[in-house]
């Protein structure tokens, strides 16, 4: 075919590419330039205007730990004489065993009863999020439901952390100035193992601490400490006992569930703050106090603030709680210290 004799138009300015006989037309493309060849020439002006990033209108939260510690505050102040800034719990000790035979012609000597009290104070906690009219009116997603959900979760996580923090005290001091220390077992050089569970259970049983629901004690561990137990492969460890108990199925091993071991219900939680301290508890290890006045209660409450600025542009939502936690019976709590690293494969 003979080559054309006309002159290329103003828009035919692309590079000459065989077997073309005139330069190519300009192509209107989406762009960017990096995904196009050098010829023919491209125009991404329109593409850059109308080809934009799409948005998923679902708004995802951060990865969250489970909330667990508040449920172990089994002691609740339910018979208050009146409202106050703290609650006083009273203890009266048992009378010592009387094993000496009575004399026939003498009356018994009276004995005294000893008592003590524990005071648990309440404090205010809470926070709030404030949004503006401009944000609510121009955001492509509804902001208020997101703020409300984040505030609600923050209330639960904050209160759960308060309950956990109460378990970190070194000792408990009573109104008579007597002090009882919290027991600690293990060390930073030790991996969590069946022997530590046996040791902890023995100490609780020697102190006459009751299990939760008359079933089992509870040990709250970090994910790393849970791995310590799963890595046991001797004929006394969790893996061996589980395999023998469940037979060929070994469902707990397949699912990575520890469950019960050595009379302890093991709960894995990532809200401990440290990966090397676990909490072994029996009934009445933790107490919780709160006001019983109208508008107060055992759980945080959501507060929607009235709009009071001059142009009614600022709206706030928050949570508020008046609460206090304390170790109730030091004998019912044992902190278990372990290594903070994963246990190597053996």
Separation between Cα atoms, residue 323 and residue 291, nearest integer Å: 7
Nearest to 166 by CA among 325, 331, 335, 284: 325
* Cα distance between residue 336 and residue 333, in whole Å: 10
Question: Positive or negative CA dihedral for 229, 234, 235, 236?
Answer: negative
Cβ-based neighbours of 213, under 8 Å, separated by 6 or more: 283
Kindly give the confidence (pLDDT) of every residue in the chain, 346 residues in length, as a single tens digit, with 9 standing for 90 and above.
445 455 555 555 655 555 555 556 678 888 888 887 776 778 888 888 888 888 889 998 988 888 889 999 999 987 788 889 999 999 999 999 999 999 999 999 999 999 999 999 999 999 999 999 999 999 999 999 999 999 999 999 999 999 999 999 999 999 999 999 999 999 999 999 989 999 999 999 999 999 998 789 999 999 999 999 888 777 667 776 776 666 656 666 666 677 888 889 999 998 888 899 999 999 999 999 999 889 899 999 999 999 999 999 999 999 999 999 999 999 999 999 999 999 998 7
Q: What is the pLDDT of residue 1?
A: 44
3-state SS, residue 288: strand
CA distance 29 to 149: 43
CA dihedral over 18, 24, 30, 34, signed as positive or negative: positive
Predicted local distance difference test score (pLDDT) of residue 20 = 57
Helices 238-246 and 223-230: angle between axes, nearest 10 degrees:
70
Beta bridge partners of 181: 171
Q: How confident is the model at residue 18, as a pLDDT? A: 59
Q: Are 163 and 73 in contact (CB under 8 A)?
A: yes
């Amino acid at each position: 075919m003979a080559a054309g004799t006309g002159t290329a138009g103003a828009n035919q300015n692309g590079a000459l590419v065989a077997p073309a006989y005139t330069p190519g037309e300009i192509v209107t493309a989406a762009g960017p330039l990096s995904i196009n060849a050098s010829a023919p020439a491209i125009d991404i002006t329109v593409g850059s205007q109308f080809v934009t990033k799409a948005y998923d209108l679902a708004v995802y939260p951060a990865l969250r730990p489970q909330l667990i510690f508040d449920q172990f505050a089994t002691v609740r102040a339910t018979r208050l004489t009146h409202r106050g800034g703290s609650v006083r719990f009273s203890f009266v000790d048992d009378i010592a065993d009387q094993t000496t035979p009575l004399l026939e012609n003498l009356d018994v000597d009276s004995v005294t009863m000893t008592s003590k009290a524990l005071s648990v104070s309440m404090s205010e906690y809470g926070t709030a999020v404030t949004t503006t009219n401009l944000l609510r009116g121009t955001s492509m997603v509804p902001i208020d439901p997101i703020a409300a959900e984040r505030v609600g979760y923050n209330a639960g996580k904050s209160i759960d952390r308060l309950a956990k923090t109460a378990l970190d005290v070194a000792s408990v001091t009573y109104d008579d100035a007597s002090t009882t220390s919290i027991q600690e077992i293990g060390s930073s050089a030790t991996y969590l193992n069946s022997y530590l569970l046996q040791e902890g259970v023995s100490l609780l049983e020697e102190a006459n601490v009751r299990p939760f629901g008359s079933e089992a004690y509870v040990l709250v561990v970090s994910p790393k400490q849970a791995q310590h137990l799963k890595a046991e492969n001797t004929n006394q460890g969790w893996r061996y006992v589980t395999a023998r108990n469940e037979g060929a199925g070994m469902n707990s091993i397949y699912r990575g569930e520890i469950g019960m071991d050595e009379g302890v219900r093991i709960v894995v939680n990532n809200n401990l703050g440290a990966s090397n301290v676990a909490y072994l508890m029996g009934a009445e290890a933790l107490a919780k106090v709160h006001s019983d006045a109208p508008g107060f209660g055992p759980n945080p409450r959501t507060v929607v603030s009235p709009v009071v600025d001059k142009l009614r542009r600022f709206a706030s939502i928050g949570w508020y709680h008046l609460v206090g936690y304390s170790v109730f019976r030091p004998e019912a709590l044992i902190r278990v210290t372990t290594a903070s690293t994963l246990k190597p494969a053996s």
